[in-house]
């Protein structure tokens, strides 16, 4: 255990958040989380309670915090005591590095350091970059010498502005050996993913995509990740189509974000960048996996059908709510609407079947009551029109047409599932009655005028001014206006509490009728 990990722990304990602590420490959140998880595993106790994004200390964590403060305080005091006493410096510095030209410079530095601090021993270990990096994380190596590129997260580092030399060896009979010179030779040295990065990629593939990969090969992992991600994206895009049909379906934003995040990762072609990105974003990807899971289950299972039934009822009611005063029905509607508006309604969806049944029972009873009250009104309007046809002996001319028009309204009444629509059907029926009566009257007026003109034409056929004489001879005919009571009352509801209220109402009706009866040649027919 090194002091760096202790400082990581104390920062998390102070901020009570991995994200905030990581910002202060200038490292990534996944790195910090894994470092402290390794600390807990090393100690064999749980130090932190992770509740979402909020962190608290266990009893063991409180004790460890106290001891960590003591250790770091002792470290600080020791360093202060040693300041200004460089001649007393002793110990061993362990250096890890690969085999390259810069090691020669390292030897010179070690020589000068020993001359200044003769009591300090320098131990040199040669190893691969991965091994050296792992030894540094375990505290087995104090200083590491690497050739870029290298992961420097969590490490204090300086860059040495020198280059190493590379040569190409070949057999004497190789075609390249026969060339007088080589214009350009590119050697692609690809940095391998670290064990931590490989572990992160495999974890995401398993948890997010539901696939287990045993291979640790970089290319195999990268290929499988992208294949799984593409399949996941296609699946989520098929879900997005559903939102066009019903915008009330939950978490469209979450689906879009998940698609965007995965698309950005699969666009990465460089293996180094790919593994680093997945490693850095592993926690976010796994969190997104947890968020996507209930959404996918929603669209695959029976929850969606229940939810959409509720949405259908809500739409029906919203178009008619101004016509509904039933308190119990309003209560059921408000509860249903509240669940549908939840960002994550999955826990409350089991409540909806009962609410749907209650709504259906109460709403359709109100609907039937409205339809029952309207049927006699429709029958009366139809009777007025058909009696007029019978009186004027015009049944053969219009009855088929008018019968069809009234049947369409009756059909609409029977098929309607909205109270507002039923209310409007009353006005439609009244308007249809008026149109039918007007058509009958216009037909009669046309026949009458035609008859008069034909009679006068016979009398004046030799007169050059026949058309003028006809207009003079034609006696003005009274015009019949068919007016419905709904038009006179403006389809309003009137309340009478006194004789004066009745008088005022009748006065308004009189004024409107007089306005329609604008001259002596007009007849107003109220139906």
Specify the CATH number for the domain of residue 136.
3.40.190.10
Same domain, 337 and 422: yes
pLDDT digits (tens, 9 = 90+) for 472-496: 444 555 566 666 666 666 656 667 7
Please tell me the total count of domains within the chain: 5
The CA distance from 192 to 272, in Å, is 7
At 73, which CATH number?
Answer: 1.10.10.10
- Residues 316, 317, 319, 325, Cα dihedral to 10°: 150
Final residue belonging to a domain, choices 189, 221, 256: 189
Pick the most confident of 36-45, 95-104, 496-505: 36-45
Q: What mean pLDDT comes out for the span 190-209?
A: 88
Q: Which residues contact 524 (CB under 8 A, 6 or more apart)?
A: 481, 483, 513, 516, 517
pLDDT(454) > 90: no
Q: What mean pLDDT comes out for the span 261-278?
A: 93
Same domain, 239 and 137: no
Same domain, 329 and 246: no
Same domain, 347 and 448: yes
DSSP code per residue over 486-525: HHHHTT------SHHHHHHHHHHHHHHHHHH--STTEEEE
pTM of the model: 0.48
Same domain, 170 and 233: no
Final residue belonging to a domain, choices 62, 83, 104: 83
Same domain, 338 and 464: yes
**Confidence class of residue 176 from pLDDT cuts 50, 70 and 90?**
low
Same domain, 215 and 260: yes
Residue 399, domain extent: 302-475
Final residue belonging to a domain, choices 284, 300, 316: 300
* pLDDT at residue 185, rounded to an integer: 47
* pLDDT at residue 183, rounded to an integer: 53
Same domain, 162 and 222: no
The tokens 């932190």 sit on which residue?
48
Using a pLDDT cut of 70, give the percent of the chain over it. 80
Same domain, 367 and 235: no
The CA distance from 184 to 186, in Å, is 7
Quote the mean pLDDT of the chain. 81
Distance of CA 124 to the CA centre of its chain: 57
The 10 Å Cβ neighbour count of residue 422 is 22
- Please report how many Cα atoms fall inside a 13 Å half-sphere around the Cα of residue 297, on the Cβ side: 11
Enclosing H/E stretch for 121: strand 120-126
DSSP code per residue over 256-278: HHHHHHHHHHHT---HHHHHHHH
* pLDDT at residue 112, rounded to an integer: 81
- Joined tokens for residue 115: 């001359």
Same domain, 386 and 268: no
Same domain, 144 and 134: yes
By mean pLDDT, which of 20-29, 382-391, 432-441 is the weakest?
A: 20-29
**Range list of H helices, 281-342:** 282-300, 303-318, 327-340
Same domain, 120 and 208: no
């Amino acid at each position: 255990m090194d002091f760096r990990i202790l400082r990581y722990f104390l920062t998390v304990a102070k901020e009570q958040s991995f994200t905030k602590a990581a910002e202060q420490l200038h490292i990534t959140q996944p790195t910090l989380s894994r470092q402290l998880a390794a600390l807990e595993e090393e100690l064999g106790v749980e130090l932190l309670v992770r509740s979402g994004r909020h962190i608290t200390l266990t009893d063991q964590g409180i004790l460890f915090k106290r001891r960590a403060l003591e250790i770091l305080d002792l470290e600080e005091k020791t360093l202060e005591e040693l300041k200004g006493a460089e001649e007393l410096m002793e110990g061993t510095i362990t250096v890890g590095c690969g085999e390259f030209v810069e090691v020669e410079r390292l030897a010179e530095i070690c020589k000068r350091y020993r001359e200044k601090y003769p009591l300090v021993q320098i131990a040199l270990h040669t190893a691969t970059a991965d091994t050296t990096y792992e030894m540094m994380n375990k505290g087995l190596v104090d200083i590491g010498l690497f050739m870029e590129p290298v992961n420097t997260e969590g490490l204090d580092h300086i860059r040495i502005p020198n280059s190493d030399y590379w040569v190409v060896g070949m057999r004497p009979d190789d075609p390249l050996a026969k060339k007088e010179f080589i214009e350009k030779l590119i050697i692609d040295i690809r940095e391998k993913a670290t064990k931590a990065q490989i572990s992160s990629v495999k974890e995401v593939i398993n948890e997010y995509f539901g696939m287990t990969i045993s291979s640790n090969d970089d290319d195999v992992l990268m290929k499988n990740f992208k294949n799984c991600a593409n399949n996941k994206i296609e699946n989520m895009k098929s879900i997005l189509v559903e939102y066009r049909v019903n915008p009330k379906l939950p978490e469209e934003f979450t689906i879009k974000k998940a698609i965007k995040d995965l698309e950005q990762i699969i666009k990465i072609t460089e293996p180094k960048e790919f593994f680093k990105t997945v490693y850095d974003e592993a926690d976010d990807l796994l969190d997104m996996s947890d968020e996507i899971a209930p959404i996918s289950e929603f669209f695959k299972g029976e929850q969606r059908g229940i939810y959409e039934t509720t949405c259908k009822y809500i739409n029906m009611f919203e178009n008619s709510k101004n016509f509904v005063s039933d308190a119990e029905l309003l209560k059921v509607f408000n509860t249903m609407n509240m669940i549908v508006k939840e960002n994550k309604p999955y826990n409350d969806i089991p409540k909806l079947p009962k609410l749907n049944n209650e709504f259906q029972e109460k709403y359709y009873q109100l609907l039937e009551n409205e339809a029952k009250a309207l049927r006699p009104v429709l029958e009366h309007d139809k009777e007025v029109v058909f009696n007029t046809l019978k009186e004027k002996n015009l049944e053969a001319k219009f009855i088929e047409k008018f019968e069809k028009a009234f049947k369409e309204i009756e059909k609409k009444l029977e098929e309607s599932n909205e109270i507002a629509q039923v209310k409007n059907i009353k006005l439609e029926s009244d308007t249809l009655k008026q149109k039918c009566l007007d058509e009958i009257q216009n037909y009669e007026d046309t026949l009458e005028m035609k008859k008069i003109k034909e009679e006068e034409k016979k009398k004046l056929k030799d007169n050059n001014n026949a058309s003028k004489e006809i207009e003079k001879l034609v006696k003005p005919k009274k015009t019949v206006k068919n007016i419905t009571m709904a038009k006179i009352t403006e389809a309003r509801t009137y309340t009478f509490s006194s004789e004066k209220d009745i008088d005022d109402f009748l006065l308004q009706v009189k004024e409107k009728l007089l306005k329609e009866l604008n001259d002596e040649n007009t007849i107003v027919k109220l139906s």
